[in-house]
Amino acid sequence: MAVHLEAEAKATDQGFKPRILVFSTNNISDPGIDLAGSAHMHYPTSVTTIALPCTSGINPEWIVRAFKQGFDGVFIASDGEECAYLTDCAERSAQIFERAQKELEEREIAPARLKMAAICSVCAEPFTKYMREFSQMLTELGPVRKE
Amino acid sequence: MSERKIGVYVCHCGGNISDYVDVEKVIDAVKGEEDVVVARTAMFTCSDATQQEIYDDIQQMGLDGLVVASCSPKLHTFTFRGVAKRAGLNPFRYTQVNVREQCSWAHTDDRLGATEKAIRLVRAGVARTRLLAPLEPTVVETVPKTLVIGAGIAGLRAAIGLSDIGLSVVVVEREAAVGGWVKEFGPLFPHEKEGRALIAQLEAEVRRRENIALFTQAEVVKKAGSFGNYVVDIRTHGKSSMTMQMEVGSIIVATGFDSYQPEEGEYGYGIDGVVTLPEYKKMLDEATGPLVYRGRPVKDVAYIYCVGSRQGEAGPHQYCSRFCCSAAVHSALELHGKDPSAHQYHLYRDMRTYGRYELMYQESREKGSLYLKFPESEPPAVQKGSDGRLLVTVRDQLTSQKEMQIPADLVVLVTGMVPRENDDLVKALKLPVGRDGFFNEIHPKLRPVETVVDGVAICGACQFPKTASESVASGLAAVTQSAAMLKQGRAELDPQVATADPELCTDCGTCYTTCPYDAISPMELPGGRRVASIAPATCKGCGGCAPLCPEHAIDLQGYTSAQILAMIDGLAREVV
């Protein structure tokens, strides 16, 4: 797998490297992302993360700003059912997600550029897989600035 | 933009970072950033020497912002907040940038890419720090009194523990008698002491103590205020029904469990002679010699395990109830003692008499108990035989795989623990309920009895199925947590909470109902205008209310819209 990853990394080196902004949560998904690093699991360096207490606090305008500034994709690493603050965190985060997608549609940005998935505190492998797949998909879509 | 003086420190982590990230390049790239007055690398930023260096810089240069780019914020946030505080810099004007777990270690294959990413991350950290306002923790004085809800074995023992430490205690019990399930029982494992004797001993002690007030036939119906200063409404039933209001500093929830009630027809439940584990235990405890059921001697007993537990995807109770294997084996030993000639058949999926209870399992086999393992897909069937006795059909996986028929005088369904219906209490206390219906702690290992509601702890079997000893142990853990908070007399709460800007608020009311902790309420300003106000001691700092405000009047301190947008801009900027 390591060889395959290096090959993939080299391939993307040649040209377009999609920029991905991840929103994580301090207690659940950010530790999962940390774990990926602790295990030296690789994902593209064009992925950068901002950690928040809870994904239900994301303002859709932040997502719009990210695309405006040249991020090609935004990934919400949510807590799923595990949020310690809000029992309806998943529903609230889904509403934020929908509001953001509407905003993107209005700006003719492909809704597929915004993704959300639950990442648990030990979800290192799933996270790196999501990042590789999302990066691959965004590479096929091309840079956001062209849209 | 106001002028700031920010210090940036990038860590080598002894090579953990600098082997994969060119830390000097990172310093070069951020040195010229607006408001950055000092930027250095350090072999280990967390070392005493570097902490001293940061301290000196803060004092000598008058830094009003600090950025440390090293490991995950989970490790050293409190270390560097401490450095800032000691040096006279507000600890909330510091940003931890994660360039190890989320950069060097994740990109050991791409030095150039990792270095560029580190530059972006540090720039985002500087951008955030530039906008950080000083925050002061909310200090609350605490009431040296704890409310214990539930007077079972865990609640009673916790009350005595709190009283020992010198805290006042109020115990509220819904039933007329204290003692919960344990008062119903005779000998319990380990040590064979009778449950009712244990409860009698605890009750006498509780009633003897002057700093414990016990209310039976009473319920907690309302909780207001915040940690350290909760105001609770307690309603008593029975002869005199009344509502009392009380101030308490913390709350311990010990509301226990319900026993699983099988459905009619589940393993023959409803047929005369098919009983649950608590029903059987009661019969055993009352018997002075061989068991007699409805006038007929009980010579053959069949136990069916895992009833109401490990139900798989379909059932609501997917967990293992943990105590029931040991409890059933213990009951079998009780019967072996009272009637050595009785035949006992244990039909199980998996035996889990964990720890020292394994010895009871061994003893029961030595005394003649027979164990038969049935496949999950083919549970035993119970029917009434032609002779009026019961007939249990089972396939034993470990021997011939042949179907066997066991005639029995009594079939014991080894029922597990299920969460107790406590909707009103959950609503009143805002208790976090897990998917299995039991109450949730913050962290199973590090904070095993605290909940997300500050000052509200859980213990005993309301958390998950526990034995009596485990319940008491968690009750005493809750005592320690409560006392640690209340004995100081004051508590500091995290100031990174939501705030509502009265200038922007239009009193539209959207946020008033959105907070499950009831932290947001309308407040009248001196001029008479009504605006939203967020109680800092009640707010949990999740920020869930902020994006719902149509006027953008709500911000989460430490994560304000302006700060996050600045971070996004910092991350997005081209590196060269």
Which helix (H) or strand (E) segment holds residue B490: the answer is strand B490-493
A84 touches chain B (CB under 8 A): yes
The two three-digit tokens of residue B485, written as one number: 């908070």
3-state SS class at A117: strand
As a CATH number, domain B145-256+420-491 is 3.50.50.60
> Complex ipTM, two decimals?
0.91
Between chain A and chain B, how many beta carbons pairs sit less than 8 Å apart? 133
User: For A54, which residue in chain B has the nearest alpha carbon?
Assistant: B542
- Which residues have C-beta within 8 Å of that of residue B364, sequence separation ≥ 6? B329, B332, B333, B336, B344, B346
CATH fold, domain B261-416, is FAD/NAD(P)-binding domain (3.50.50)
pLDDT, tens only, A110-145: 999 999 999 988 889 999 999 999 999 999 999 997
What are the sequence ranges of the domains in chain B? 6-135+562-572, 145-256+420-491, 261-416, 494-556
Mutate to test the interface with A, among B70, B107, B431 (most CBs of A within 10 A): B107
pLDDT at residue number A3: 39
| Partner residue facing B452 (CB), from A34, A65, A84 | A84
Q: Do B121 and B99 contact (CB within 8 A), yes or no?
A: yes
Contact state of B516 with A96 under an 8 Å Cβ cutoff: no
Domain B494-556 classification at class level: alpha beta
- pTM (two decimals): 0.70
Q: Judged by CB atoms within 8 Å, which residues 87-116 of A form the interface with B?
A: 87-89, 92, 96, 99
For residue B100, the chain A residues in CB contact (below 8 A) are: 37
Contact state of B543 with A53 under an 8 Å Cβ cutoff: yes
B110 touches chain A (CB under 8 A): yes
Mutate to test the interface with B, among A13, A17, A46, A50 (most CBs of B within 10 A): A50
Q: Is the pLDDT of residue A13 over 60?
A: no
Alpha helices in B287-350 (DSSP H): 324-338
B362 touches chain A (CB under 8 A): no
For residue B75, the chain A residues in CB contact (below 8 A) are: none
If one counts every other C-beta atom within 10 angstroms of the C-beta of residue B225, the result is 18
Q: Do A81 and A92 contact (CB within 8 A), yes or no?
A: no
Contact state of A48 with B124 under an 8 Å Cβ cutoff: yes
Q: How confident is the model at residue A1 (pLDDT cuts 50, 70, 90)?
A: very low
For residue A57, the chain B residues in CB contact (below 8 A) are: 542-544, 546-547, 556, 559
| Partner residue facing A96 (CB), from B116, B547, B564 | B547
- Which residue positions in chain B have pLDDT lower than 50? 1
Q: Chain A closest CA to B310's CA: distance in Å?
A: 21
Contact state of A45 with B542 under an 8 Å Cβ cutoff: no
Segments of chain A assigned E as strands: 20-25, 47-52, 73-78, 114-118
What is the widest separation between alpha-carbon atoms in chain A? Answer: 45
A61 touches chain B (CB under 8 A): yes
pLDDT at residue number B285: 96
B437 touches chain A (CB under 8 A): no
Common-topology check for domains B145-256+420-491 and B261-416: yes
Buried b (16+ CB within 10 A) or exposed e, B404-418: eebebbbbbbbbbbb
Mutate to test the interface with B, among A12, A26, A86, A132 (most CBs of B within 10 A): A86
Average pLDDT, chain A: 89
Listed residue (B406, B402, B400) closest to B370, CA to CA? B406
Interior angle at CA B505, CA B503 and CA B507, nearest 5: 135
pLDDT at residue number B430: 80
Buried b (16+ CB within 10 A) or exposed e, A94-126: bebbebbbebbeeeebbeebbbbebbbbebbeb
B565 touches chain A (CB under 8 A): yes
As a CATH number, domain B6-135+562-572 is 3.40.50
Contact state of A85 with B98 under an 8 Å Cβ cutoff: no
Rounded-to-integer distance, Cα B273 and Cα B382, Å: 10
Listed residue (A51, A128, A52) closest to B543, CA to CA? A52
B117 touches chain A (CB under 8 A): yes
Rounded-to-integer distance, Cα B496 and Cα B237, Å: 42
pLDDT at residue number B453: 81
Mutate to test the interface with B, among A8, A40, A59 (most CBs of B within 10 A): A59
B121 touches chain A (CB under 8 A): yes
A34 touches chain B (CB under 8 A): yes
The two three-digit tokens of residue B311, written as one number: 């139900």
Rounded-to-integer distance, Cα B239 and Cα A88, Å: 40
pLDDT at residue number A14: 57
| Partner residue facing A21 (CB), from B452, B543, B571 | B571
Which helix (H) or strand (E) segment holds residue B100: the answer is none
Mutate to test the interface with B, among A30, A47, A48, A58 (most CBs of B within 10 A): A48
What are the sequence ranges of the domains in chain A? 55-141
Contact state of B543 with A56 under an 8 Å Cβ cutoff: yes
Q: Chain A closest CA to B106's CA: distance in Å?
A: 4
The two three-digit tokens of residue A25, written as one number: 């949560």
User: For B433, which residue in chain A has the nearest alpha carbon?
Assistant: A87
Q: CB burial class (10 A; 0-12, 13-18, 19+) of residue B421?
A: exposed
Q: Chain B closest CA to A147's CA: distance in Å?
A: 18
Contact state of A38 with B103 under an 8 Å Cβ cutoff: no
pLDDT at residue number A146: 63
